[in-house]
Chain A
Amino acid sequence: MELIKRTVNLNNLPEGDLFFNISIEQTIDNLGIFTNTPFYHDVLNFDKLNSNDMFGRPDNTDISAWFSNNSIHVSGLTESRVEELATYDLINKYQINFDVEKNNYVNHLGDEIDGVSRITNISDGLIEYVFDAKNDPNIGTIYQNNGILYRDTNNRTSFEFKQEGNNNFNSSLEAIYKEEYLIGVTDVLETKNDIFIDRGNTTVMERMLKMSEVNSLDHLENYGNGYFNIIRG
């Protein structure tokens, strides 16, 4: 524990209060990964608590409070994907409003989306195109809520989409608990299948041939990255 010492002269004591600034620190450690298991009935609720939870979610709200509700449109720069929407037409390779791909899917909110991938606008060096956008009047505009909108202009490609945050598709709303043997383990177990198996019965002469390559005890220890099982007497 840190001990801070201060001396105050009673002869110079101010009227009112004495003030001291102090430093408060936290030393942290990593518990590692947890194990998840579903809640019985697979539900979460807050009604047994009387105030906001540790993440500021209010009491008496339903499970949707765990998900992001205030999605906004975000944008950035990337490489062009317009080639993916090229057609086989030799003259008019890029065709406006031609659905190169149609794909019905369910979005993160559980809504059915009749998604299409198409070029929506070509004008004055600008190409606007979408992937998996809902086929409605908002397609290709800033009001498009599904899929990704791209704009190619002046050798630059920007993308725009509506963020989805935490949702049913990327979050597991299950209880997590800690298994002690995993304390401090911060990554899931990794299986490496690069295993060297030498059955030792390839030929009757193989062991002898390997020994002929060994010139010293160091070589013997290092041979084949530990091929020989050396037992020290």
Chain B
Amino acid sequence: MSNGVYGIKRGADVDLSDVEVFLHYSPSRNSRGNEVISKLVTDEVLFKNNNPNNINNLEIFGGLYTLKLPTTSFGNKGIYTIMIKPIEIRTKLIDVGVLSAQPNIRGLVFDLSLIDNKFLNKFQNNGLIGYRIEYLSNTGIDRKIKNLFRIITSNNKAEPINQNLNNSNQKAIRYRFNDSATFVFATVTPNSANSATPNIIPFIGDANQDVILTNTFFNPVMLEIEMVEYDIEDLAIGMFGPQTKSLEDGIYTIYNFDKEIYKQFSLYEIKDQYTGKPLFEVKDIQNNVDFSKGFNIITNI
């Protein structure tokens, strides 16, 4: 037994509104497949489960979600790859600034009027803690800046004030927390200067820069579903299932473990037409099944 130890993994109880589901299809391993990843409607394919320990109320069972895929859309042979990841909130940085009372606290400024209504409640004071922020370049085609992200460590509604600096005739915009304001000031990490290079401040964003906010409520999951014509059970039937071979007409029948006809083949020889010398033995699949070769029919003769 150990004291003071705790686990850091938990079954996620994320709401479906915070989840996105994406789909990619490839007909085989030999091709890249769809070049465009399609987005599924989360509510239609992903479902929460109820916790049986609370039978009187609806309570999410953390960690266990059920994915539903309609066979009409997932009925082709090939590989379907489904990615379940936290939803993205796309917005723009209104400014990057410091707190008036704490000029050493730098942060990002968001405008609530630019936030999609369905995400507004996330911007409640400190509702964004733990969100990851990724950055887009304002130019170019592939705009996402690679390998760069920050984590939001706090956020509060704030307003700008034009504040006197040390030099009495100098003023600058700074921010102070005001819960009536429509701007949100968020601190991020990392943003502190390295002590060895104190004049270098890590990049945390720029005014007017497009950004992507992503929650960290759960770790992304990827599901690869391979639709095949034969699986290991088919092989087991072929190897270990009941079989009959009709010596009169050469029909070779394989049955499943319930002794139902699974596959039927014609067995025959090809002989030299002049000498009658056998050249090949052929096993050809029989498309028109001969039901008179049923296992119970044969074994009860």
Question: Interface residues, chain A, CB within 8 Å of chain B?
Answer: 1-11, 13-29, 31, 34, 37-41, 43-46, 48-54, 175-181, 183
Contacts and interface: CB of A to CB of B under 8 A. Distances in A.
Given A9-B229, A49-B123, A177-B154, A25 B71 contact: no
Interface string B215-259: 011111111111111110110000000000000000000000000
A18 B68 contact: yes
B27 to A, nearest CB: 13
A45 B84 contact: no
Given A9-B233, A18-B69, A18-B74, 8 more contacts: A10-B75, A19-B68, A24-B218, A25-B218, A34-B154, A39-B156, A177-B105, A178-B187
B121 A177 contact: no
B65 interface: yes
Q: Which of B180, B189, B220 has the most CB of A within 10 A?
A: B180
Given A25-B218, A26-B12, A26-B217, A178 B154 contact: yes
A25 B66 contact: no
Contacts of A178: 129, 153-154, 187, 189
B102 interface: yes
Given A4-B222, A25-B219, A49-B121, A9 B101 contact: no
A21 B125 CA distance: 35
Given A52-B121, A177-B156, A25 B191 contact: no
8 contacts: A6-B226, A8-B227, A22-B67, A27-B219, A40-B178, A41-B180, A44-B179, A51-B121
A8 B70 contact: no
B151 to A, nearest CB: 9
Given A24-B219, A48-B112, A181-B192, A8 B187 contact: no
A48 B179 CA distance: 9
Contacts of A46: 124
B32 interface: no
Contacts of A29: 8
Q: How large is the interface on B (under 10, 10 to 19, 20 to 34, 35 or more residues)?
A: 35 or more
Q: Which of A6, A177, A179 has the most CB of B within 10 A?
A: A177
Nearest to B151: A31
B108 interface: no
B120 interface: yes
Contacts of A179: 105
B176 interface: yes
Contacts of A31: 129-130, 153
Interface of B: 8-12, 14, 63-71, 74-75, 77, 84, 99, 101-102, 105, 107, 112, 117, 120-127, 129-130, 153-154, 156-157, 159, 176-182, 185, 187, 189-192, 216-231, 233-234
Contacts of B65: 21-24
A26 B218 contact: yes
Given A18-B68, A41-B178, A175-B125, A1 B154 contact: no
A40 B159 CA distance: 9
A18 B70 CA distance: 6
Q: Which of A19, A27, A181 has the most CB of B within 10 A?
A: A27
A126 B148 CA distance: 70
Given A16-B70, A18-B74, A40-B159, A4 B223 contact: yes
B101 A26 contact: no
Nearest to B121: A51
B192 A17 contact: no
Given A2-B221, A2-B222, A21-B66, A176 B126 contact: yes
A43 B180 contact: yes
A53 B124 contact: yes
A35 to B, nearest CB: 8
A11 B237 CA distance: 14
